[in-house]
Amino acid sequence: MAAARNQATAVDLEVAWQEWQVAQAARLHLYRVALLDRQLAVAKDEERGLQDNVATVKRALNLGYVTIINLAAAQASLQKVHLQVLTSEQQREQERLALNQALGLPPEQHVPLPAHLEPASPQTLPPFNEIGRNLEERRLDLLALKMGYQSQEERLRAAILAQVPKINIGFAHASDTTHVITTGFAITIDLPIFNRNQGRIAIESATRQKLFDEYVSRLFTARADVARLLADMASLSQQIKTTEKSIPTLSNLVQTYYHALLEGNADVISYYNARDELIARQIELLTLKRNLADQRIALETAAGEYLGSGERGASPK
């Protein structure tokens, strides 16, 4: 009877573990699609403005009011932002398809998104000591491994090892040679349910010691991930605030260059450089927010519970 109960519990944990992964993947891609929509809107708005600008410069060139240098600068700026539009469209479509996969929907179906969706401030998060407390009682894989190393049956231990492959959270500083993304922290969350369980543990000898060692390793990694994510999110939040403050200043600079250019007191290259910098900073802000959303979901994945407003204490169990 005890063996049957353990087997039933193992199955329940496996199902809950898979559901947790699916839910986290869906939330991850939902945030990404929403923020990429905003990024695409910013890029397209700038593209329309530059298209009108190129048409105006062409007319002015035909009338002899400007030189070919003015037209070349306008066209170069338009080409740069058009490339940003194409890149954003590609990223958005990739995330949309990933969202559909997580939700089990056909590729052609479009999921309606909430308006103005973006991650909550890290200031709303509990401190490390609170998140790390009783983590081993919330993480479904840790619960399964604990049940496994307490089990008398090697068959059950082997089944548990196969059913709860690792979730890996990767850290990397974001960078881009075009300077569109200049700061921030990129996160990769490897959910094994979507990669054919490549994270499976070798199960040729499912000893108690093997499960215990895996349990200790995952618990240590989870706590380390929580600590690092909290630190990175605090830093990223400051970067977002700094970037937000810089955008109005850059916008004023663009207007200043524009009026100076009309009066012959500025060169055309400086004007378009300022305009390019403004759009790059706007894109950077949305990229930083997207990274922050990734980090929050990675934090919840590592902690084994939802950490949103009003969700404290809600776990996937």
> Domain residues of the chain, as ranges?
2-105+117-303
Mean model confidence pLDDT for the chain: 84
Question: Closest Cα to residue 157, out of 217, 203, 199, 206?
Answer: 206
Calculate mean pLDDT across residues 155-176: 68
Model confidence at 222: pLDDT above 90: yes
pLDDT at res. 181 = 33
Residues 6+ apart with CB under 8 A from 25: 98, 102, 189, 191, 193, 194
Question: Closest Cα to residue 113, out of 209, 37, 6, 18?
Answer: 37
Model confidence at 66: pLDDT above 60: yes
Distance CA 71, CA 308 (A): 50
Residue 154 or 68, more confident: 68
Distance CA 302, CA 296 (A): 10
- In 3-state terms, what secondary structure has residue 117? coil
pLDDT at res. 314 = 42
CATH topology of domain 2-105+117-303: Outer membrane efflux proteins (OEP) (1.20.1600)
Calculate mean pLDDT across residues 265-281: 94
Residues 6+ apart with CB under 8 A from 271: 73, 254, 257, 258, 260, 261
User: CB atoms < 10 A from the CB of 177, how many?
Assistant: 6
Calculate mean pLDDT across residues 104-130: 88
pLDDT at res. 171 = 73
